[in-house]
Amino acid sequence: MSIDWTGVSAIATGTAALGTFVAAAVTGWMALMTRKSIRQTQEHHRDVFRPLVVWMPYDGIDPQDRKGLIEFKGAGDGNEAHALWLHGTLQNVGVGPALNLRLQLAVMNRYDIRAACELSPMKASELRQGPKSSPGGQCPLKVPVQLSQRFNDTDFQMAPNGPWSIHLEYEDVFGQRFRTCHASSRHAPWTMTEVYRDEHWVRA
């Protein structure tokens, strides 16, 4: 009985090819799992240092009228320049420092940023508020506003009459950008947090 070496060679070649395919598949799967594990570790590491800056009004939130939480004070109203008087505290309730902190004012809709002010970084658990007043009260936190062609004195004076939003934008120690939004409209949630991903702001 003769042996069909051609057939044996074909079977051996097929077996080797199958083995190579299986080895490549296993290697690819292990690489995928390794990348996934690294990504999860990085995300967990980021979460350990994630800041969360919020504005907390002194007397809570009135679900019907939030506009009294801010006073728009023009130059000469006890201010050297135009300013927002925030009746509340800024707090970093996260677990990491908030860097490159900016307070932004949007009017009419929350995407229409009209003014911004750079604030100093906030460490975890830091609370920032206005000075004490007597007897036993608390003065508002004053944030200066720089006017511009897009937001002049008339715009500033009209702003309290329409809806406004306060955005607190900041970064973690890895450079990831976050934003906390507070809206005057009773139809919107008071606090909404967002993260900047793929050149867009998305809900956190």
Domain chopping of the chain, boundaries = 1-48, 50-203
Q: What is the pLDDT along the chain (204 residues), one digit of tens a residue?
A: 555 556 656 665 666 666 676 666 667 777 677 666 555 555 555 778 999 999 998 877 776 778 888 999 987 766 668 899 999 999 999 999 999 999 999 998 888 898 999 999 999 999 998 888 766 678 889 899 988 888 998 999 899 888 999 999 999 999 999 999 999 988 888 999 999 999 999 998
Q: Could you give the CA distance from residue 170 to residue 122 in angstroms, rounded to a whole number?
A: 10
Strand locations in 19-112, DSSP E?
53-57, 70-73, 83-86, 88-92, 99-107
pTM here is 0.75
Cis peptide before 135 (omega within 30 of 0): yes
What's the pLDDT score for residue 52? 96
